Amino acid sequence: MAEIMLELNEINTFYGKAHILHDLSFKVAAGEVVALLGRNGAGKTTTMRTIMQLARPQSGTVQFEGNDITRWATHKVAQAGIGYVPEERRIFGDLTVMENLEVGRQPVRDGLPAWTVEHLFELFPNLAERRDNRGKQMSGGEQQMLTIARTLMGNPKLLLLDEPSEGIAPVIVEQMAQTLLEIKAKGLTVLLSEQNLHFARIVADRAIIIEGGGAVFDSTFEDLETHPEIRDQYLSV
Amino acid sequence: MSFYFAQFLTGLSSASSLFLVACGLSLIFGVTRVVNFAHGSFYMLGAYVAYALVQFVPGSILGFWGSVLAAALIVALVGVVVEILILKRIYNAPELYQLVATFGVVLLMQDAILLIFGGDDQFGPRAPGLDSVVRVFGEPIPEYDLVLIALGPIVLGALWLLLNRTRWGILVRAATLDREMVASLGVNQSWLFTTVFFLGSFLAGLGGALQLPRVSINLLMDLSIIAEAFVVVVIGGMGSIPGAFIAALLIGELNAFGVLVLPQATIVLAFVVMAVVLVIRPYGLLGKAETLAHVAGQVELPIRPASTLAKSIAGLLLIGLVVMPFLAGEFAIVLATDVLIFALFAASLHFIMSNGGMVSFGHAAYFGLGAYGAAFVIKYAGGSMELALLAAPLMAAAGALIFGWFCVRLSGVYMAMLTLAAAQIVWSTAYQWQDLTGGDDGLLGIWPSEWAKSKTAYYYLALVLCGGGILAMRRMIFSPFGYTLRGGRDNPNRTESIGINLRQHQWAAFIIAGVFAGIAGGVYVFSKGSIFPDEAAIPRSVDALVMVLLGGVQTLSGPVVGAGVFRLLEDEISRLDYWRAILGVIIISIVVIAPEGIAGFIKKIAVKAGFERNEEQAS
Ligand SMILES: Nc1ncnc2c1ncn2[C@@H]1O[C@H](COP(=O)(O)OP(=O)(O)OP(=O)(O)O)[C@@H](O)[C@H]1O
Ligand SMILES: [Mg+2]
């Protein structure tokens, strides 16, 4: 197995008194695309927020490229090379497309593709046409592209994508899958959360299923197919 | 005609000055979400520092402008220090705590300026090279005013470029919209906030320094400008700089022409405009609704009936209060009377804050109205003390009825600002309506009826009225009315959806709180024998907030404990030279170190020791 990029170790995260993640552990190797699957409320978003240190785990560690990043400031985590695309997209509505991209811009990292606005406009042609439009004037699909493009402007090594296919038209979902494959081909490591099994299977190498804040399955999609009972139990298909 | 044009230009120049201060306040609020009371103190500091610097370079044009710029820079650095030492610790605290903490900075700065520059009014020099007048349609206009008129749009333009054409500006605008997302994209917010504070304080300092040739410099500049700046920022829409510009023009002109029509009521006019604008556009002319992430504040604990332990302590306290006059001297009795009055005042504020989730920043209005209402009965109607004590809550209720109607239409910071504005209306009316209120000289000789003349008798009267008032409010908290209010506080949409008119309940709560504050004011005026406008001023409103905070917002006994501690403390430190600074430090420390207050702190220990049930687990 290639070198480990991200490792969660017995993570326990709370929202107030509600215990959300229970001793969650998993690893993501460099260059891998891993899908985090699970029902509504299983804890996928919380896992992403914990990695970004937007939610502070009460115990356990998050390791990124061998560094313990638990309790780092969120902007330090981002600067270390983790790019986060949140579920609700969170476009800066009053800022133009170009300005949204500018907020995400970070210095180029060694040995990684340096994303420029031009590259990103090739990847997401719709954005190029709307470069001077404000974020709030864009459709849901366009906002989803913008939020990914904005995060790529930070030249991340690891991309966290929270339900990229949620709430967008099926044609756009197909397009999005192609785009993700292109991003993968550039050597990025991706952890994506999904409820759309079909979409996840196209882009991901491996599936981790979480349920009640813990990992209940961690293997290939082929493995998942040979165990339909797992799929039926933990995923709402 | 030409006279009106000249008046118009005067309005423009004061609008420019106002804009400089207000845009910094708005910028800081937009990014950090902190309403910075101390912004007016930075303005005052700018004026004092510029005054001191100009003394070294008399008559030199370069020296004058150099001093103005240097003063603004020095203020900007002071602002950065305040931000790093204090504000950084409270960015995630509820708004109320932030406002109160920055008011602590106001107190601290007042004494610091007094210490460094002395307390006398100062008159700055004319601006060299700009000390004559030009004739516009035959009317004399000071040259300096023309420079100021130009400066407003120049600063607006410069800020626009900075915010729209630089990376820093884009980051600032993004942070205004979604701080967490900005951090997730690798931007160091902490640094961004500090730079914003630098710029905002710079503008405040610049605004103050530029006043040198125009007005006298004194220690009252801070609160008078901050009240005006709040009005401008709120009318314009909090966080909107173009909005602040339009609002500054509106207020500047309103003042210039208002003086011709209603010379006694200029302050009132500005606040009336603010109230009207907010009712039509609740977020100001160019403002936006609060973002969701911000509104989701802390979830307040449910309030539960007192435990047996708490009841026995309250019983002991009551016995202690009843026998107290037999054991203590006259001085202690007077002090205890004071504590009772302020306990009721604080409890009435706590009533709307904790149950209704409404933060009033101008609760002194109702205290003051009650006090004046009582005083009027004695002075003008020849009535008795008994009648006056009845008039006090009525007058306060009338005020709360009118102001409350406006206030309950808003929430959060906007509501806090509007309540502050309401209190400023009361204060400025009391201050400016000499014939009725005696203005600054106050109304004197308001003494209790014969039977209540002795300190002990009056103490018992206060105990009955104030203690009764506090118990009455407690009752209401556990009535269906109280439950509805708390339901509305925690979940306004759900409460409305089951057919409850939340606004009406809030309005009623506002009036009830006003009534009890009014009673406190009425009892107060007879205990002192006099009443001055100060009783309705900003510091008095902050006193009430501090008492509530000191005791702890989330405990019912909080305001009573807080009032006791605060009055005793004030009694101790007000004899010292720099008591404001000491009070300021105390206020800041409470917010930073013990935000749950004294009663909350004791309660936490009681829960730990097993004396009391833990409410969080029980719920
Ligand atoms: N701010 C919060 N406070 C309290 N509980 C929360 C909060 N956010 C989420 N939760 C709870 O945490 C649990 C996990 O939520 P999370 O958002 O991580 O799930 P998810 O797997 O991303 O679900 P979805 O597919 O709906 O996005 C859920 O039960 C949710 O109700
Ligand atoms: Mg989710």
Closest of B376, B362, B372 to residue B396, by C-alpha = B372
Closest in B171, B173, B184 to A52, CB measured: B184
pLDDT classification of A69: cutoffs 50, 70, 90:
very high
Name the domain boundary from B489, B514, B537: B537
Residue B299: CB atoms within 10 A of its CB come to 9
- In a domain? residue B563: no
* Ligand 1-lining residues (CB < 6 angstroms): A 15, 18, 20, 38, 40-46, 87, 195
Interface predicted TM-score (ipTM): 0.93
Query: What's the pLDDT score for residue A212?
Result: 86
User: Which residues in chain B have Cβ-Cβ distances shorter than 8 Å to A79?
Assistant: 186
- In a domain? residue A134: no
Asked if B173 and A92 come within 8 Å (Cβ–Cβ), the reply is yes
Q: A17: domain range?
A: 4-91+153-234
Chain A residue nearest residue B164, CA to CA: A99
Token pair listed for B94:
């509820």
- In a domain? residue A229: yes
CA of A179 to the centre of ligand 2 (A): 22
- In a domain? residue B562: no
Name the domain boundary from B160, B188, B220: B220
Closest of B222, B281, B213 to residue B247, by C-alpha = B281
Asked if B174 and A95 come within 8 Å (Cβ–Cβ), the reply is yes
Domain count, chain A: 1
Contact, B404 vs B363, CB < 8 A? Answer: no
Query: What's the pLDDT score for residue B192?
Result: 94
Asked if B187 and A154 come within 8 Å (Cβ–Cβ), the reply is no
Residue nearest ligand 1's atom 17 by CA: A45
User: Which residues in chain B have Cβ-Cβ distances shorter than 8 Å to A75?
Assistant: 183-189
Name the domain boundary from B521, B537, B553: B537
Q: Does residue B615 sit at the A interface (CB-CB below 8 Å)?
A: no
| 3-state SS, one letter per residue, for A11-66 | EEEEECCEEEEEEEEEEEECCCEEEEECCCCCCHHHHHHHHCCCCCEEEEEEEECC
CA of A16 to the centre of ligand 2 (A): 18
Bridge partners of B596, per DSSP, are: none
Asked if A74 and B183 come within 8 Å (Cβ–Cβ), the reply is yes
Mean pLDDT by 10 residues, chain B (619 residues): 86 93 93 90 96 89 94 97 92 80 93 90 83 80 90 95 95 91 94 96 96 89 87 89 95 88 74 81 80 40 68 83 83 90 94 86 95 93 89 95 88 81 87 86 88 88 92 90 84 78 90 96 93 91 87 78 86 83 88 73 70 45
Taking the C-alpha atoms of residue B480 and residue B476, their distance in angstroms, rounded to an integer, is 8
The CB-side HSE value for A85 (13 A sphere, CA atoms) comes to 29
- In a domain? residue A141: no
Query: What's the pLDDT score for residue B288?
Result: 77
Q: Ligand 1 pocket check: which of A12, A13, A19, A20 to mutate, most ligand atoms within 8 Å of Cβ? A: A20
- In a domain? residue B568: no
Domain count, chain B: 2
Closest of B39, B44, B41, B66 to residue B55, by C-alpha = B66
Query: What's the pLDDT score for residue B605?
Result: 73
CA B123 to chain centre: 28
User: Which residues in chain B have Cβ-Cβ distances shorter than 8 Å to A93?
Assistant: 177
Interface test with A, best of B88, B160, B185, B188 (most A CBs within 10 A): B185
- In a domain? residue B560: no
Element (H, E) at A218: strand A214-219
Q: Does residue B167 sit at the A interface (CB-CB below 8 Å)?
A: yes
Q: Does residue B178 sit at the A interface (CB-CB below 8 Å)?
A: yes
Q: Does residue B182 sit at the A interface (CB-CB below 8 Å)?
A: yes
Query: What's the pLDDT score for residue B304?
Result: 66
The SS3 call for residue B431 is helix
Query: Does one domain contain both B429 and B525?
Result: yes
Residue A89 buriedness (CB in 10 A; 0-12 / 13-18 / 19+): buried
CA of A157 to the centre of ligand 1 (A): 26
Query: What's the pLDDT score for residue B295?
Result: 36
pLDDT classification of A89: cutoffs 50, 70, 90:
confident
Residue A206, domain CATH? 3.40.50.300
Interface test with A, best of B92, B180, B181 (most A CBs within 10 A): B181
User: Which residues in chain B have Cβ-Cβ distances shorter than 8 Å to A105?
Assistant: 167
Query: What's the pLDDT score for residue B293?
Result: 36
- In a domain? residue A100: no
CA of A101 to the centre of ligand 2 (A): 24
Asked if B181 and A94 come within 8 Å (Cβ–Cβ), the reply is no
- In a domain? residue B56: yes
Contact, B549 vs B100, CB < 8 A? Answer: yes
Taking the C-alpha atoms of residue A41 and residue B468, their distance in angstroms, rounded to an integer, is 50
- In a domain? residue B244: no
Query: What's the pLDDT score for residue A228?
Result: 81
Query: What's the pLDDT score for residue B617?
Result: 38
Bridge partners of B531, per DSSP, are: B443
Q: Which of the two residues, A16 and B509, has the higher pLDDT score?
A: B509
- In a domain? residue A82: yes
- For residue range A170-227, list pLDDT tens digits in order: 888 888 888 899 989 988 999 999 988 888 988 999 999 998 888 888 888 888 888 8
Residue A141 has pLDDT above 70, yes or no: yes
Chain A residue nearest residue B175, CA to CA: A92
Asked if B189 and A75 come within 8 Å (Cβ–Cβ), the reply is yes
Query: Does one domain contain both B67 and B176?
Result: yes
Q: How many CB pairs under 8 A join A and B?
A: 62
Contact, A165 vs A194, CB < 8 A? Answer: yes
Q: B393: domain range?
A: 308-537
Token pair listed for B475:
């009752």
Q: Report DSSP letters for B221-269, one per residue.
A: HHHHHHHHHHHHHHHH-TT-HHHHHHHHHHHHHHHHHHHHH-GGGHHHH
Asked if A79 and B186 come within 8 Å (Cβ–Cβ), the reply is yes
The ligand 1 atom nearest the CA atom of A38: 21
Query: Does one domain contain both B81 and B179?
Result: yes
Query: Does one domain contain both B62 and B188?
Result: yes
User: Which residues in chain B have Cβ-Cβ distances shorter than 8 Å to A87?
Assistant: none
Query: What's the pLDDT score for residue B146?
Result: 92
User: Which residues in chain B have Cβ-Cβ distances shorter than 8 Å to A92?
Assistant: 173-174, 177-178, 181
CA B418 → CA B32, B137, B403, B412, distances in Å?
Answer: 20, 40, 9, 10
Name residue B100's amino acid. Answer: V
Q: DSSP class of residue B557?
A: T
CA B36 → CA A167, B19, B104, B201, distances in Å?
Answer: 40, 16, 11, 10
Say how many residues make up chain A: 237
